[in-house]
Structure 1
């Protein structure tokens, strides 16, 4: 009898109410409607997701609740960069990289990720990382060891022997035995590589469908995988519930990738009219991720950074064509996302891509939507990110002025919130105070 009473008493004991955070500002941008909502009161639960959005006054707060006020400011959804490389500093080019030990590169991923977060990019898709540094960084961020954005890791990129995703800078005597990680020839070898990357943490499969700019012995327009090989990659990835991305500069490689069922086309520099029509008309969405800002950096700083002349030449050859084709693809109704290729340029250059996208045909709203709503759709993460909306994570960027009138307002953010927590208040585990 006494045990029953004790148990009943324990069930009836009140529990502490979960703390909520209330975020206010002059307005926020609803990227679904393209309109501002004035005087929002955004309530965030202790899980970092938005519980409600009202307007007007903040309700009476409990002692555990918190109010974060950004009076005079505009709130935007946290930005999504769909094409990033975090483990390769942009100021190390060509053969300069060989002066660093192997473990140097993963270490550089953490500060790059934190820098991108502080610039407003609360979600990053990583499309290729040596030693799976992106998988490790995602784990370190989620467990609180370092501060950074939400990471969608790609692990090792897939490609053909001697292609853009293979190592092409070394002579045969210095090649390691066997194929590089991610390299396969023929549909079955590439299916195996899809399974292997997913097994070790990849959440997107990136494949090099054409040659590239910053490799040797490849040309950007050159197809390097057959349509059958690309279809095997797409089919295998989709079977496991994983999306795909194809590095594809050349027109033929782009069309092969689209017909094969690849989900996003990276760079798309030399796309032709047929490729634009094909991408715009597919029942299964195909997204273009076109990095039209970074050439400004590579051409001005590349030689000083050690980039070889052959690579700078290729970069020059496709730069303006890519920008012109961005405009044509947008006008042709292709779905577009924001992809910077950070790593080719440093993080502090990335926000300038919004202005370049507007210069080449997008409205300021469309450029912001590419980096928010569209990115979430292309990732299949509309329940989590991409908008300031009930149920999604409270990931926000605070800016001054009116970015719909002047897109440059996003280039100098006044603050960033991830999961309802201001980024400047995020403390890694090693620096947290003792309990």
Structure 2
């Protein structure tokens, strides 16, 4: 009863946060959707239009959106009469803007960061509903930054599943979410609890913790049963957990293979947190669709990924945000890390930047992911800048967060603009091909034909 009340109160607070003054009154028995946002028929006039990074940029183009999809794209600024549309069709004037597909981030943690990143002990004090509200706030910041789709790779309980579904139903605003829920981890692995006394560790037992191939198959089946869109695995140790096991492989080869086989059998992509080379190589050999971080991959690992078509999601920006020198790390946001974790962080240094340079040279396929929740939500576009700094052209960098990310996640409806695809459209105040920094200056955001940001401000309808 207490949890039901808390959940009701939590969702109520979220609705109040997005309901404008003077919003419509809901009649008894009618569904409450206080955002009142619908995917309307609309005409968009785009001064510059990049329908897909790498294709010619159109000048003075007209996009028509209807029912959440792109209906047509034509040259010239056409009005309703010329398009054969009703005279009162809404027109969005982006004649002075650079228009392109909504961005995609394949690695975020929406329940973390924000207020949860600034207050200690919340996991022991607050119920999951608190973290759903925190995830809502973080998701909204991400959407306002031009990221219309994200993949959340690690959240406790049903926190992000609830938000994913509320966004899909139009209850609250946010990006489309592909969610893994709790990650799959071995006992004492990166996603298992550490550093607490026995009774607290037992209270935080997670269904994604498994040991042995058969138990790992069970964990994958449970994840899908409870709502996972994608399977997230932790085949190696991590930097921020307090384990002293390091960052090398922690699942056996047989366990790694069993997870991949079961995930694909159930129609799910499978991706993995992996730092150590041995764990990376084992996951690639077992058919994992992507590798998250991949920090200690070497040329052999990256060539194997290229040969297998395995995507690298390098998450460089949070490392830059934390610091890449011992001095920066020791006075930065993680200055109070446990000694085991600080030792791993210091060892990491600027390895992510070196990794991306090596992957670009080899031609390993790269898709954008930030691991935000470490770095602040809403700063996701900084990852584009990291890739250009590592040697990509701006167009190559833009591909990582659009068509590459869509391909890596198996989402053919997004990542580019064409008739019949999702009307996920953003506008920048500058030309990102001339200056990649323009991706951080988002003026307009439409997701599924719904305008959420216009003239640089959140839209309330």
Rounded Cα–Cα distance in structure 2 between residues aligned with 1:311 and 1:253: 19
Aligned to 1:82: 106
- Does 1:40 pair with 2:88? no
1:287 counterpart (274, 289, 311):
311
Q: Report how far residue 350 of structure 1 moved.
A: 2.2
| Runs of at least 5 residues in structure 1 that lack an aligned partner in the other structure | 1-17
| 2:295–2:351 contact (8 Å) kept in structure 1 | yes
Q: Distance in 1 between matches of 2:127 and 2:203?
A: 17
Q: Partner residue of 1:302?
A: 333
Secondary structure at the counterpart of residue 39 of structure 1:
strand
Instruction: Tell me if 1:31 matches 2:52.
Output: yes
Tell me, in whole angstroms, the C-alpha distance in 1 between the residues paired with 2:200 and 2:92.
56
Question: How far has the Cα of 1:38 moved from its partner?
Answer: 1.3
Relative to structure 1, is the Cα distance of residues 98 and 275 closer, same or farther in structure 2, using a 3 angstrom cutoff? same
Per the TM alignment, residue 97 of structure 1 is displaced from its structure 2 partner at its CA by 4.1
Task: Tell me the alpha carbon deviations over residues 179-219 of structure 1, each in whole angstroms, 9 at most, x when there is no partner.
Answer: 42200001111111111111111000000010001101145
- Map of 1:201 onto structure 2: 227
Indicate the larger mover: 85-94 or 353-362: 85-94
Alignment partners' CA distance in 1, 2:421 and 2:52: 13
Residue 437 of structure 2 corresponds to residue 408 of structure 1: yes
Query: Do 1:402 and 1:409's aligned partners in 2 also have CA atoms closer than 8 Å?
Result: yes
Counterpart CA distance in 1 for 2:203 and 2:446 is 46
Contact 2:47 2:97 in 1 (8 A): yes
1:332 to 359, 362, 367: 362
What SS class does the counterpart of residue 326 from structure 1 fall into? helix
Q: Match of 2:366, SS?
A: strand
Relative to structure 1, the CA distance from residue 237 to residue 268 in structure 2 (aligned partners, 3 Å threshold; closer, same or farther) is: same
Q: Give the C-alpha shift of residue 177 in structure 1.
A: 6.0
SS at match of 1:202: coil
**Residues 1:234 and 2:263 aligned together:** no
Distance 1:175 1:221, change over 3 A: closer
Aligned equivalent of 2:194:
168
User: In 2, Cα distance between the equivalents of 1:19 and 1:303?
Assistant: 45
- Kept in 2, the 8 Å contact 1:158–1:208? The answer is yes
Aligned to 1:4: none
Match of residue 3 from structure 1: none
Q: CA deviation at 1:178?
A: 9.0
Q: What's the counterpart of residue 361 of structure 1?
A: 391
- CA-atom RMSD, angstroms? 2.2
Q: Unmatched 5+ residue regions in structure 2?
A: 1-38, 323-328
**In the TM superposition, what is the alpha-carbon distance from 1:220 to its structure 2 partner?**
5.0
Instruction: Give me the whole-angstrom Cα distance separating, in 2, the residues matched to 1:66 and 1:107.
Output: 33
Per-residue CA distance 1:18-67 (angstroms, 9 max, x = gap): 9621111111113253321111111111x210011111131414144211
TM-score (norm 1): 0.88
CA–CA separation in structure 2 for the residues paired with 1:401 and 1:339:
23
The alignment of Structure 1 onto Structure 2 pairs a total of residues equal to 408
- C-alpha separation between the residues in 2 aligned to 1:260 and 1:62? 54
TM-score when normalising by structure 2: 0.84
Pick from 117, 120, 128 the counterpart of residue 92 of structure 1.
117
Q: Which of 343, 354, 363 is the equivalent residue of 2:373?
A: 343
SS in 1 for 2:177: strand
For 1:108, the equivalent position in structure 2 comes to 134
Q: CA deviation at 1:390?
A: 1.4
Q: Does 1:120 align with 2:150?
A: no
Partners of 1:49 and 1:419 within 8 A in 2:
yes
Q: Which residue of 1 aligns with 2:166?
A: 140
**Per-residue deviation at 1:92?**
2.6
When Rg is computed on C-alpha atoms for both structures, the one with the higher figure is 1
CA contact (8 A) 2:144 2:378 kept: no
TM-fit CA distance, 1:98: 4.9
The separation in 1 between residues aligned to 2:122 and 2:337, in whole angstroms, is 10
CA distance in 2, matches of 1:124, 1:339: 9
1:70 to 94, 97, 109: 94
Q: What is the deviation of 1:88?
A: 1.1
Q: 2:70 aligns with which of 33, 50, 53?
A: 50
Tell me the residue number matched to 1:12: none
CA contact (8 A) 2:207 2:222 kept: no
Inter-CA distance 118–219: structure 2 relative to 1 (3 Å threshold): farther
CA offsets, 1:157-185, max 9 Å, x none? 00100010111121224222694220000
